[in-house]
Amino acid sequence: MAKFKAVIVEKTDNGSQARYGELNESDLMDGDVTVRVDYSCINYKDGLAVTGLAPVVRRWPMIPGIDFAGTVEQSTHPEWKPGDRVILNGFGVGEMHLGGWAEKARVKGDWLVPLPQGMSALDAMGIGTAGYTAMLAVIALERHGVTPDKGPVVVTGGVGGLGSVAISLLSNYGYQVVASTGRPAEADYLKSLGASEVIDRSELTGKVKPLAKERFAGGIDSVGSTTLANVLSMTRYGGAVAACGLAGGMDLQTTVAPFILRGVSLLGIDSVYCPQPLRREAWRRLALDLDRAKLTAMTTVVPFADVIEVAGTIVEGKLRGRHAVRVTES
């Protein structure tokens, strides 16, 4: 198939515009592996790329889609051969390198991981970067010693994709999970994923105290800004908070008090350039430990023809859970 369908974001006088179009394989960027994309997904960063609300796209024109799962068609990379099933997350794909919202992608083989045995491409993109980042955050808390016996762990942005997967994973590992959300009507959904308590996000968005009452043994935060500052101030002695998002802002108005008086640690989670050993460990554990029934319940499959419209709503906080994109009809 010389031509293939793609979503194309182009620069305009007023910013940018996303459209559906056709490209040739010759339009793909350099790489040693060409993949037929079966599924991609919609992440917050993809919404920013489509709407132009933040300077995510750094190469024009761009195919969005920071994730994809598919089948190798051509390869000169020693690890991959035609027919291999693979996953890609990050490495600037969908930002600086043409992404996964297309029937074909050409990337560096060093960026790929194998699709775990027993996991479908739909499963993988139901998880996507959001769920993979959630797993990295759980691993970081574990390595810091935040174990289930230490007390409750808060997950902010609980209704979003990252929060949904984090809640499911933590509850499966035996943690008491407190889910924070600005959408109280979704309390039943959050409890179905494993949250033992649901709190309104307003409890974490007020004026930040240097030290507040100790409430949490740890946290996974996808919001940033005031929310993260409040979670840090409420974390128990020796606890840790994994920071992996900025839906509420990039600023962090906090003090050193949680760090020097309670020994709290702030753990930064980078999913884009995460080293391969940890990347593969995260996917291995997702295949083994993420409840597939819960994954199915939190995943909406979006037809390729609707992806631009749906992506525009993720930055408005209107989506629940994960949204996988069926790119190639099988």
| Residues 170 and 258 both lie in one domain | yes
Count of the separate structural domains present in the chain: 2
Q: Are residues 152 and 256 in the same domain?
A: yes
Portion of the chain with pLDDT greater than 70, in percent: 99
Q: What is the mean pLDDT of residues 79-98?
A: 98
pLDDT tens profile 241-277: 999 999 999 999 999 999 999 999 999 999 999 999 9
225, 201 contact by CB (below 8 A): no
Domain assignment of residue 57, given as a range = 3-115+295-326
Residue among 58, 138, 45 nearest 89 (CA): 45
Instruction: Provide the phi-psi class of 150: left if phi over 0, else alpha when psi is between -120 and 50, else beta.
Output: alpha
Clarify whether residues 49 and 174 are in a common domain. no
* 147 shares a domain with 260: yes
Cα separation, 274 vs 98, in Å, equals 19
96 and 149: one domain? no
Mean pLDDT of 57-63: 96
81 and 16 part of one domain: yes
Q: In this structure, what CATH number is given to the domain that contains residue 242? A: 3.40.50.720
CA 158/CA 44 separation, integer angstroms: 14
pTM beyond cutoff 0.85? yes
Whether the pLDDT of residue 68 is over 70: the answer is yes
CATH of the domain at 63: 3.90.180.10
